[in-house]
Amino acid sequence: MIQAGIIGGAGYTAGELIRILIDHPEADINFVYSTSNAGNKISKVHQDLIGSTDLEFTDKINPNIEILFLCLGHGNSKAFLEKNSFSDNTKIIDLSNDFRLTKDEAFNNKTFIYGLPELNKEAIKCASYIANPGCFATAIQLTLLPLAKANVLQNDVHINAVTGATGAGTSLSETTHFTWRDNNFSHYKAFTHQHLDEIKQSVKLLQNNFTSDINFMPNRGNFSRGIFATMYTEFDGSLEDAKTLFSEFYKDEVFTVISEDEIHLKQVVNTNKCIIHLYKHDNKLLVTSIIDNLLKGASGQAVQNMNLMFGFEETVGLQLKANYF
């Protein structure tokens, strides 16, 4: 059994990570670090875990663990690693955006690999340090990468994606209060969302000659969790041509599924799946993807990466059923 540590244990992503790891047959949680909750039972904060674990938060770390998950706010992972040292044998998975871009991947003699398994699986298997992708970035990249691989992205890309309230984290703001979210809908960071940089980076990795615009409209939905993303662009081939590209690209991917039927969010909530649907209208290809922002978009993908790094079966601990009803 490998020993795991979690930093920033009070947030949504940490809560989902704990939920997965307490039942993972190959990993034990060695500590969950939270200075503001030290000494409190984890189930006091993550109340869905009552009766599932007696673990308590701690303000101490074990530097000799085998895997460390950083569930900190963006910009805080670098600061934490500068102040705290771990064994050379400790593998690290960071769930923030601190190391996702090529310009940021090298840090303190560590090189972070971008942890999208559908893109970098072989590199992840050999990696010691992983930058876990963003939630919007995961859902959107999985609509684009098969087209980029085939070198057929030749025009502007238009994306509209909606995320649930948990995408904003546990800290309250004006737009996360129930009274604001309930029966409400809005966009934010139009055309400028921070996940665009990692999306563009991955597309250019597979199709270096891509120079068109990626127009991304992120939206806030009045539901708790999940991302529903639609992408359309001009496509000269037939619908069957597109289906062949996607089926071939994802043929060995256990969590990415191509659906012949139209899809909806309840199919993926509480799972590590991404489900994709393709539709052709005139010369435009519409690709829809759905994920759980806290699982395939964060903690589930982090455990998927851990499984790959340690040579475990990729699906271990992640065979989760959707909350369909």
CA–CA dist 227, 293 (Å, integer): 6
Cβ–Cβ < 8 Å for 112, 68: no
Q: Which residues pair with 3 in a beta bridge?
A: 28
Using alpha carbons, select from 313, 308, 295, 249 the residue that is nearest to residue 20.
295
Angle at which helices 135-149 and 196-206 pack, to 10 degrees? 20
Task: Give me the helices (H) in 229-290, please.
Answer: 239-249
Residues 41, 48, 74, CA angle at the centre, nearest 5°? 75
CA–CA dist 157, 263 (Å, integer): 21
274 is catalytic: no
Instruction: Please give the structure tokens belonging to residue 60.
Output: 């101490």
Give the catalytic positions in this structure: 135
